Structure 1
Amino acid sequence: MKVAVVGASGAVGQEFLKVLAERNFPLDELVLFGSGRSAGNEY
């Protein structure tokens, strides 16, 4: 399954990623979107 997270660098996006990891959600591809200000940052 292909999943995209819009706002991945924000508080809600970070929590969403945490839940995906905790529940071992089956992903074929994960695409993260954030603002220009967060470009290049690692989370």
Structure 2
Amino acid sequence: MNPTLEKDKAYPKSWWKVSGRVLVDKKGVKSGIVGEIVKRMRGRK
């Protein structure tokens, strides 16, 4: 996935909120990528 954290960036839809974002390599459909992120986050609990 190769995640990259950008702390000083805003999500394009909410450009006024500078809360940071994470970019990942696109290797499939969005729902599959989001599912993989969820699996990895749940594994860190």
TM interval, shorter chain, is: 0.3 to 0.5
Q: Name whichever structure is richer in strand by fraction.
A: 1
| Structure possessing the higher radius of gyration over alpha carbons | 2
Give the structure, 1 or 2, with the largest relative contact order (CA under 8 Å, sep 6 or more).
1
Q: TM-score, normalised by structure 2?
A: 0.37
Q: TM-score, normalised by structure 1?
A: 0.38
